[in-house]
């Protein structure tokens, strides 16, 4: 009955299902173990009527016009540019560290000198990852790099990942580079915004085609078996000869035969407050204080006009697949060892023409939403609609 089965109803699964149903006019079954669509981008109204993101704050931003235009068929946008402040020695300063931050934390003469050196060494409107700035041989810039490393990156990263910045793929801290600019925004992408009616509504629109059947509350193991030796697949106890598009954890699909891929998990604490506003911007980072990394106030992100407000604190924790409360694999931990382990799974998966791995868990990549959408559109073009 189905030529296509998708595991996971997040961005990877939803974009694939939409393309298969609308472009190929084929039936597709989506299997999702949670009781809702949307994956980690799921949002809903809390009991105080505030639109919240259940799995942590999600801000959409992309440089990719195709992705923006594609999603714009399924949502209108609330045009929002994210701003983050970091609490440093009790003061709130712009993050990423930029020239405004420089002038807030140092006296004018020192800030002026450092600004000149930054611009003459790297240029203006340039982003410099902290680990790169630390390689400088200029004494003043070394002082600055040490300051930023210590005050912004070191303790935040140890909280978030359990290791120091230099023990992760440099791309991780490179996501929030020092920015030689006066631009206080967290992202500089050309297209930024939040789905006007929320992410879940956007997902409902992606899944709207009658050819798509979404089975919620269903772990794929309950209805589908995948033989990782020969790739043969059964669906509801019958041989399945179509394509399996898998966006769950790749180690799970292969019964952990090369060992578990490590992840970082989070615990969220939501607080509803009977006040109009809690903080001046969407997110405030606490690199050095408390056990949480950041506090996000949702109404800044969504633009929702309500009298009260809801915030969320993010407490990083280790991921343990069999321990309730710690069993959501939020972040792949990017380093060389883990990448090597992942490639064993990837190479094995390549043997099976009927299997496509897609998304943050299946590809073990620190993907943002737009990158998952871009990859889903590409995989559809290259491997499904060929």
Q: What size, in residues, is the chain?
A: 386
160 binds, among ligand UDP, ligand FAD, none (CB under 5 to 8 A by kind): ligand UDP
Nearer to ligand UDP, 94 or 248 (CB): 94
* Site map (CB under 6 A) of ligand FAD, residues 6-45, x = contact: -xxxxxxx-----------------xxxx----xxx----
Smallest distance from the beta carbon of 331 to ligand FAD, in angstroms?
Answer: 6
End-to-end, the C-alpha distance of the chain in Å comes to 21
Binding of residue 56 to ligand FAD (CB under 6 A): yes
In this structure, are strands 51-53 and 60-62 parallel, antiparallel, or unpaired? Answer: unpaired
Nearer to ligand FAD, 149 or 161 (CB): 161
Query: 169-200 b/e with 16+ CB inside 10 Å = b?
Result: eeebbbebbbbbbebbbbbebebbbbbebbbb
Binding of residue 4 to ligand UDP (CB under 6 A): no
Binding of residue 156 to ligand UDP (CB under 6 A): yes
- Of these, 55, 153, 191, 240, which contacts ligand UDP (CB under 6 A)? 153
Query: 258-289 b/e with 16+ CB inside 10 Å = b?
Result: beebbbbbbebeeeeeeeeebeebbbbbbbbe
Nearer to ligand UDP, 166 or 234 (CB): 166
Binding of residue 62 to ligand UDP (CB under 6 A): no
Minimal CB distance residue for ligand UDP: 156
113 binds, among ligand UDP, ligand FAD, none (CB under 5 to 8 A by kind): none
- Of these, 152, 180, 250, 311, which contacts ligand UDP (CB under 6 A)? 152
Spell out the residues 6+ positions from residue 227 whose beta carbon is closer than 8 angstroms to its own: 233
Dihedral angle of Cα 374, 172, 316, 328, to the nearest 10 degrees:
30
Spell out the residues 6+ positions from residue 151 whose beta carbon is closer than 8 angstroms to its own: 88, 89, 287, 288
199 binds, among ligand UDP, ligand FAD, none (CB under 5 to 8 A by kind): none
Q: Which span (3-11, 170-178, 347-355, 370-378) binds ligand UDP, by CB under 6 A?
A: 170-178
- Of these, 86, 198, 262, 282, which contacts ligand UDP (CB under 6 A)? 86
Q: List the interface residues with ligand FAD, window 335-374 (CB under 6 A).
A: 359-361, 367-370, 372
Smallest distance from the beta carbon of 295 to ligand UDP, in angstroms?
Answer: 12
Q: Which span (49-57, 123-131, 193-201, 206-214) binds ligand FAD, by CB under 6 A?
A: 49-57
C-alpha 275/C-alpha 268 separation (Å) is 21
Nearest partner of 328 among 33, 15, 29, judged by Cα: 33
Nearest partner of 102 among 114, 85, 89, judged by Cα: 114
What does R_g of the chain's alpha carbons equal in angstroms? 22
> DSSP string spanning 268-316?
EEEEEESSS-SSSSSEEE-SSSSS-SEEEEHHHHH----SSEEEEEEEE
- Of these, 101, 285, 309, 310, which contacts ligand UDP (CB under 6 A)? 285
C-alpha 17/C-alpha 19 separation (Å) is 6
- Of these, 172, 250, 355, 384, which contacts ligand UDP (CB under 6 A)? 172
C-alpha 112/C-alpha 125 separation (Å) is 16
Number of residues engaging ligand UDP in binding (CB under 6 A): 13
Q: Which residues bind ligand UDP (CB under 6 A)?
A: 86, 95, 152-153, 156-157, 160, 172-173, 175-176, 285, 287
């Amino acid at each position: 009955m189905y030529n296509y089965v998708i595991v996971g109803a997040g961005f990877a699964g939803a974009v694939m299902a939409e393309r298969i149903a609308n472009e190929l006019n084929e039936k597709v079954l989506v299997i999702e173990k949670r009781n809702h669509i949307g994956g980690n981008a799921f949002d809903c109204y809390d009991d105080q009527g505030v639109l919240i993101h259940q799995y942590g704050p999600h801000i959409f931003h992309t440089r990719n016009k195709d992705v923006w235009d594609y999603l714009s068929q399924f949502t209108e946008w609330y045009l929002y540019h994210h701003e983050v402040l970091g609490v440093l020695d009790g003061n709130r300063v712009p993050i990423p560290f930029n020239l405004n931050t420089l002038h807030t934390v140092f006296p004018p003469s020192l800030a002026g000198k450092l600004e000149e050196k930054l611009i003459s060494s790297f240029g203006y409107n340039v982003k410099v990852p902290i680990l790169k700035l630390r390689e400088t041989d200029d004494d003043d810039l070394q002082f600055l790099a040490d300051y930023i490393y210590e005050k912004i990156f070191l303790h935040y990263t140890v909280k978030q990942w359990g290791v120091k910045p230099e023990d992760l793929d440099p791309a991780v801290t490179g996501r929030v580079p020092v920015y030689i600019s006066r631009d206080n925004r967290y992202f500089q992408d050309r297209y930024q915004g939040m789905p006007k009616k929320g992410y879940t509504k956007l997902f409902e629109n992606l899944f709207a085609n009658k050819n798509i059947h979404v089975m919620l509350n269903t772990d794929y193991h309950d209805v589908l078996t995948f033989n990782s030796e020969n790739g043969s697949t059964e669906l509801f106890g019958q041989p399945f000869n179509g394509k399996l598009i898998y966006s769950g954890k790749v180690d799970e699909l292969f019964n952990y035969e090369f060992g578990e891929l490590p992840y970082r998990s989070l615990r969220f604490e939501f607080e509803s407050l009977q006040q109009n506003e809690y903080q001046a911007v969407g997110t405030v980072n606490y690199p050095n204080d408390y056990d949480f990394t950041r506090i996000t106030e949702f109404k800044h992100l969504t633009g929702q006009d309500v009298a009260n407000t809801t915030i969320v604190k993010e407490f990083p924790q280790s991921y343990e697949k069999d321990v309730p409360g710690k069993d959501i694999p939020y972040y792949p931990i990017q380093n060389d060892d883990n990448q090597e382990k992942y490639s064993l799974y990837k190479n094995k998966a390549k043997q099976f023409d009927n299997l496509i791995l897609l998304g943050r868990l299946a590809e073990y990549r620190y993907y943002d939403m737009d990158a998952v959408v871009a990859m889903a559109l590409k995989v559809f073009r290259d491997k499904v609609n060929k």
